Amino acid sequence: MKLTNIGTVKALMEKHGIKFQKKFGQNFLINEDVPIRIAEECGATENDYVLEIGPGIGTLTRELCSVAKKVVAVEIDTGLIPVLEETLADFDNVEVINADIMKTDIKALFDEKFVGGDVYVCANLPYYITTPILMLLLESRLPFKKMTFMVQKEVADRLCSDSKDGDYGAVTASVSYYGKVKKLFNVSAGNFMPAPKVDSAVIQITVYDEPPVKVEDEKLFFRVIKAAFEQRRKTLINALSGKVGLSKEQIAESAADAGLDENIRGERLDIADFARLSDIIKKKQNEE
């Protein structure tokens, strides 16, 4: 069964009486080389598990089943479940769960489904919730080995940039606390049905065993990052004013203690700078 064939996709959807659900970000892959390459590069081998988010009609899922020990695929759209039963019928190493990944207890799923093997995440992510899904998985702190995602090209560029680059943002800094991101390859809009308005890229996050920087208070660390990028045109000191429970003078002192110029903007800080700064802010908060 060639699921990247446009005629096959149309016939399947007609047979099951379903339509593309825009609200679920459904853009299915129609170039067979892309899912094959993603499965090859995701890192999973025959001893490993894969968690797939949003299998759609099963195009990438089938390739993942060919390389991994078992695939657990979480799909929100109930209408696609009978399609997946048909398209994945020749594989006995796949389990489809009809659920919203954002409402799934990832830890319980991990403990129940992935016993005795490394776990990889793989997904052609729905664009409307790329960052929330990414952060949900990273913040779970579960020992995923690698996460390979198809995302909007702009998001891929943002995630792969550093603090000297215009694409750098709060999500770049936050994700770099959990893992190393690299771009694998670009995929143009014409490789999907229906074709989205934007191009895509496949990225891979190699999750760290331990974060690259140590911080006293993770919640505060992420709050500082968020506030620093919220008003990009402001200096770091102005952007943090009123956001972390300290006066502007105390924030200016904290920035100076962290060795940061008083006119610096948040986008120039890397996560080591944010870690140093948030630890100093924490200390000042405790002295209050």
Closer residue to ligand SAM in complex, CB, 19/233: 19
84 binds ligand SAM (CB under 6 A): no
List the beta bridge partners of residue 202.
150, 185
Mark 92-131 with x for binding to ligand SAM (rule: CB under 6 A) and - for no binding. --------xxx---------------------x-x--x--
Size of the site for ligand SAM (CB under 6 A): 22
How far apart are the C-alpha atoms of 272 and 162, rounded to whole Å?
12
18 residue type, one letter: I
Q: Which residue is nearest to ligand SAM (CB)?
A: 54
Closer residue to ligand SAM in complex, CB, 28/221: 28
Closer residue to ligand SAM in complex, CB, 51/207: 51
How far apart are the C-alpha atoms of 252 and 259, rounded to whole Å?
11
The strand pair at 200-207 and 192-193 is best described as: unpaired
Q: Which residues contact 42 (CB under 8 A, 6 or more apart)?
A: 50, 64, 67, 120, 122, 146, 148, 204
CB 201 within 8 A of CB 150: yes
DSSP state of 72: E
87 binds ligand SAM (CB under 6 A): no
Closer residue to ligand SAM in complex, CB, 76/147: 76
Tokens of 210: 């331990």
How far apart are the C-alpha atoms of 141 and 146, rounded to whole Å?
13
Residue from 12, 26, 202, 240 in contact with ligand SAM (CB under 6 A):
26
Mark 46-65 with x for binding to ligand SAM (rule: CB under 6 A) and - for no binding. -------xxxx--xx-----
Mark 186-205 with x for binding to ligand SAM (rule: CB under 6 A) and - for no binding. --------------------
Residues that bind ligand SAM (CB under 6 A): 24-29, 53-56, 59-60, 74-77, 100-102, 124, 126, 129
